[in-house]
Each structure stands twice: as structure tokens, then as C-alpha cells.
């Protein structure tokens, strides 16, 4: 029996940014932004990608959205390669896969009305051809994200940050995509507004059967909305698991450290605090073996010589630690 491919499959993704300099402006050095990253996203599923700033989350999102070329690896959508396509070949892919970025202030052209902003993808994909059809659809989309239809006549600066992010979401929904990549989409918002936008995304996901790749540096933010979580460190996935398994029984010392910093809902509850010492090493010259070893309380000589593979510790729960059994 042939296996049905997942909506998204990322295999052995590598992204390096070559550095200038050296003789003739060339250099062999590069920023190792993403190293050998593999994961899948099922239809209607939320996968969250978490880790500290600079660990390569956005780069994964940009590679997935085909905004930057891959150095190596492959990405498929419903089993078909989407990396390395021409502009024209990418057009139908862009209809199915959209991105919402962190900053709702710079993502919206300040000189366009909300109607034009939300209708732009409809026009570009030849979806609602007449003006009245487009207006109807824009009105429906605005209502879907919790804004009044009348908002279409206004300009982006007339809205708050949370409302602008709703406009960005309406725009991302316009082409009826299968997946939306939310790159730190709530990070610039106040905590109460963050919760509203997360609830909106969860509602939309349920009602539309959308898949989400939710990128965030904050484990507390992703806890409630994720089906699965992948933890990244210095361009590699350290651990990937379903939400419950990840929070209940983390199998990587880095995840344990991240989780120990997440405030517990019950202030009386105890959790061992794991404080990481030292800085994240430079992605230009990452450590040998396990990238986390220079800050890991469990590191041994083996960790300096052998890159730990992601190993299955429980169904669907993989950890890239030689000592995952003892974490």
C-alpha cells in the first residue's frame, strides 16, 4: 500500500548564508542558520517551532514559503517538490501557503485601503473577478477575523496592532490556503491581545481545516495551540513531540531548560529550575558533535565527537540527545 504524503514534508533542510570578505570578497565561511532539519505537518495540524532568538526558526519558515532558496534538502507540498521552482511554477504554491509576519505595522502598505489590501491576493489568483464579488469576499473575510465589514473603507493606520494583525490574517486567508506560516505573529502584541489572536487562529484552524506552522520564541505562547512542538537550537531540531508528551516528559536537556523558565499556572507548584550557563555559540563556527553540548549539564566526551540523531523515545516523540533515556 502506498503511503499518502503529509501536507508538508521537509527533508534534511540546510540553509547557510555565505559571508562576504576575504580575498576577492569571497569567503568559505557561512552562517549555519539551519542544519539538517526534517519534519512534517499534517493537514489541519499546528506544528510550533520554538527556540531562542537566532536559532533558525524564521529561516525555516522562509525556506518553507519559498522566500529564500535552500542550500540543500527538499520540501514537498502534498508529495510534490516546491523547492527550486520558477516564479510561474510557484504561483499555485503561493495560493496554498501563506505567511503572517511579526510586524503588522510594516506588513501592510499604508497607502492602500483595507479593501485593496485584502483583495490583492484575490486579484492575483484570479479569484473574485468583479468588483462587487471582491467586495463581498473581502467583507466575509473581515467578519471571519472579527472585524466589521465597514473596516474595508479604512486605512491601516486607523487600526490598533491587534486589529492590523487581523487584517494580515484576512489577507492570508483570502486565497483559501491549506497552510499559514505564522512567524512570531503575536510577539509584538500585548499579552491580552496575543491571547485574542491565538484564539482567532485556533478557531479559524478548526473551521477551515487549516494547517499552521507557528513560529515563536516563547513556549508558554505555543502551549495551548500546538498539536506538536519542535524545539530548535543553533539551527538543529533538538526534540519534536506532541504537546502533551513534550510538556509532561521532555527528553532533551535543552527543552527541560526552556520549560523550566515557563511560569506555571499554579504559583505554589514546584518545578526544578534549570539555568543555562554560557552563551549560544556562533552559528558561523558551531561546536563539533552535539551543538548544545557547550551549555549542557549532561555533556560527556561522546557529545563532542558524535552528532546525536533524532531518536524515537515514545510514539511520535523524538529527541536528539545521546542520553535522552536519562533526561
Interface positions with ligand ATP (CB under 6 A): 17, 31, 33, 51, 53-59, 217, 283
Q: Which is nearer to ligand ATP, 41 or 280 (CB)?
A: 280
Q: How far is the CB of 52 from ligand ATP (least distance, A)?
A: 7
DSSP codes of every residue in 157-203: GGS-HHHHHHHHHHHHHTT--SEEEEESTTTTS-HHHHHHHHHHHHH
Q: Which is nearer to ligand ATP, 64 or 174 (CB)?
A: 64
Q: Please list, in sequence order, all residues whose beta carbon lies within 8 angstroms of the beta carbon of residue 255, skipping any fewer than 6 positions away.
A: 231, 238, 239, 246
**Residue 180 bridge partners (DSSP):** 98, 212
In 10 A of CB 279, how many CB atoms?
Answer: 8
**Sign of the dihedral defined by the CA atoms of residues 50, 51, 53, 58, in that order:** negative
Q: Which is nearer to ligand ATP, 67 or 153 (CB)?
A: 67
Q: How far is the CB of 18 from ligand ATP (least distance, A)?
A: 8
Q: Please list, in sequence order, all residues whose beta carbon lies within 8 angstroms of the beta carbon of residue 115, skipping any fewer than 6 positions away.
A: 134, 135, 138, 152, 153
Q: Which is nearer to ligand ATP, 92 or 287 (CB)?
A: 287
Q: Which is nearer to ligand ATP, 102 or 245 (CB)?
A: 102
Select from 59, 64, 172, 57 the least CA-distant residue to 108. Answer: 172
In 10 A of CB 131, how many CB atoms?
Answer: 10
Q: Which is nearer to ligand ATP, 32 or 134 (CB)?
A: 32
Q: How far is the CB of 77 from ligand ATP (least distance, A)?
A: 21
Q: How far is the CB of 190 from ligand ATP (least distance, A)?
A: 19
Please state, in angstroms and rounded to a whole number, the distance separating the CA atoms of residues 11 and 148.
42
| All three cell numbers of 31 | 552562517
Please state, in angstroms and rounded to a whole number, the distance separating the CA atoms of residues 22 and 139.
55
Q: How far is the CB of 99 from ligand ATP (least distance, A)?
A: 13
Q: Do 210 and 179 meet the contact criterion of CB atoms below 8 Å apart?
A: yes
| All three cell numbers of 282 | 556562533
Q: How far is the CB of 211 from ligand ATP (least distance, A)?
A: 20
Q: Which is nearer to ligand ATP, 10 or 141 (CB)?
A: 10
Amino acid at each position: 500500500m502506498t503511503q499518502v504524503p503529509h501536507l508538508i514534508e521537509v527533508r534534511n533542510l540546510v540553509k547557510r548564508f555565505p559571508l562576504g570578505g576575504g580575498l576577492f570578497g569571497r569567503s568559505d565561511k557561512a552562517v549555519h542558520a539551519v542544519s539538517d532539519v526534517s519534519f512534517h505537518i499534517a493537514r489541519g495540524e499546528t506544528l510550533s517551532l520554538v527556540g531562542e532568538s537566532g536559532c533558525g526558526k524564521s529561516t525555516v519558515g522562509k525556506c518553507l514559503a519559498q522566500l529564500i532558496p535552500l542550500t540543500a534538502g527538499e520540501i514537498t507540498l502534498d508529495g510534490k517538490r516546491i523547492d527550486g521552482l520558477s516564479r510561474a511554477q510557484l504561483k499555485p504554491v503561493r495560493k496554498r501557503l501563506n505567511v503572517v509576519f511579526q510586524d503588522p505595522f510594516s506588513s501592510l502598505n499604508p497607502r492602500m485601503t483595507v479593501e485593496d489590501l485584502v483583495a490583492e491576493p484575490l486579484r492575483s489568483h484570479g479569484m473574485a473577478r468583479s468588483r462587487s464579488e471582491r467586495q463581498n469576499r473581502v467583507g466575509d473575510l473581515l467578519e471571519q477575523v472579527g472585524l466589521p465589514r465597514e473596516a474595508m473603507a479604512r486605512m491601516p493606520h486607523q487600526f490598533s496592532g491587534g486589529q492590523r494583525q487581523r487584517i494580515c490574517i484576512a489577507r492570508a486567508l483570502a486565497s483559501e490556503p491549506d497552510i499559514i506560516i505564522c512567524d512570531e505573529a503575536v510577539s509584538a502584541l500585548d499579552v491580552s491581545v496575543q491571547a485574542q489572536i491565538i484564539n482567532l487562529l485556533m478557531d479559524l484552524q478548526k473551521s477551515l481545516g487549516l494547517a499552521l506552522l507557528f513560529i515563536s520564541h516563547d513556549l508558554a505562547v505555543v502551549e495551548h495551540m500546538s498539536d506538536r512542538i519542535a524545539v530548535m537550537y543553533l539551527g538543529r531540531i533538538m526534540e519534536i513531540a506532541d504537546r502533551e508528551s513534550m510538556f509532561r516528559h521532555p527528553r532533551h536537556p535543552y527543552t527541560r531548560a526552556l520549560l523550566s523558565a515557563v511560569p506555571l499556572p499554579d504559583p505554589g507548584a514546584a518545578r526544578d529550575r534549570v539555568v543555562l550557563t554560557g552563551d549560544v555559540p556562533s552559528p558561523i563556527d558551531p561546536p563539533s558533535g552535539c551543538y548544545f553540548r557547550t551549555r549542557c549539564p549532561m555533556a560527556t566526551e561522546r557529545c563532542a565527537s558524535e552528532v546525536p540523531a533524532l531518536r524515537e523515545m515514545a510514539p511520535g516523540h523524538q529527541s536528539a540527545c545521546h542520553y535522552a533515556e536519562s533526561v
